[in-house]
Amino acid sequence: MYKLFYADHSAAIGVRVILEEIGAPYELIRTEIDVDKPRSPELLKHNPNGWVPVLVSGDKSIYECAAITIYLADRYPQAGLAPAFDGAERGLYLQWLVYFSSSMQNAYQMTWYWERFCENESDQASVNARSVTRLQEIWGVVDDALQGKKWLLGDQFSAADIYMYMLTTWLDETRGHPSLETFSNVARVAEAVHARPAVCRVYG
């Protein structure tokens, strides 16, 4: 039985979808992640950064959404969420997961956690504005790459599509973010991911 440190709408939701896809039993540990609230000692024991997701398996735990995704998809190859180690699209699969977890998530963090990107509160507007332009640039790269493709890896669905779907749900026009419809290829793939039973069970 896996345990997943979890908060609604957070990066932990993508890992939850992966667990649903592979059909592994898991327990959610609902976790406080508000910037102004203290972190539980239990969370800090597994992740000193104080963020989710953290996946606990026996006496081992892992944090970082992309790392957990790679770990689970490789551990359950029958779920068909990752190209094999020697598969033609293995490199592209890893590329997208790392790009999402580094460039894309950082661009979002500049909206939600702007104080981590500047010394002075007076710079908040500048950091937030750069978050918006980075999201435009990065989603534009993803959208171009999806031109003429069914999924990120072409004909093969993978955990990278699930990760991408999660990231689309964070676009928030009230924060000035571009709308999902701006990126028609991304919107098309996101709709197809949303139709999967495992995604419906988690997102409703």
Ligand X SMILES: N[C@@H](CCC(=O)N[C@@H](CS)C(=O)NCC(=O)O)C(=O)O
Beta carbon nearer to ligand X, 53 or 83 = 53
Q: How far is the CB of 56 from ligand X (least distance, A)?
A: 14
Q: Which stretches of the chain bind ligand X, using CB under 6 A?
A: 10-11, 33, 35, 50-53, 64-65, 101, 105, 113
Q: How far is the CB of 88 from ligand X (least distance, A)?
A: 26
Instruction: Provide the minimum distance between the beta carbon of 45 and ligand X in the complex, in angstroms, as a whole number.
Output: 15
Q: Measured from the CB atom, is 82 or 166 closer to ligand X?
A: 166
Residue with smaller CB distance to ligand X, 43 or 198: 43
Nearer to ligand X, 15 or 152 (CB): 15
Q: Which is nearer to ligand X, 70 or 81 (CB)?
A: 70
CB 147 to ligand X: min, Å: 27
Strand order across the 60-63 sheet? 26-30, 2-6, 54-57, 60-63
Q: Is 110 helix (H, G, I), strand (E, B) or coil?
A: helix
φ, ψ for residue 3, nearest 5 deg: -120, 135
CB 186 within 8 A of CB 168: yes
Question: How far is it, in rounded angstroms, from Cα 193 to Cα 174?
Answer: 24
CB of 202 to ligand X, least distance (A): 15
Please tell me whether residue 52 adopts helix, strand or coil conformation.
coil
Q: Which helix (H) or strand (E) holds 6?
A: strand 2-6
Looking at the chain, the number of H-run helices and the number of E-run strands are 9, 4
User: Residue 49 and residue 43: Cα distance in Å, rounded?
Assistant: 9
Determine if residue 64 is left, alpha or beta; phi over 0 gives left, psi from -120 to 50 gives alpha, anything else beta.
left
Minimum Å distance from CB 18 to ligand X? Answer: 13
33 or 198: whose CB is closer to ligand X?
Answer: 33
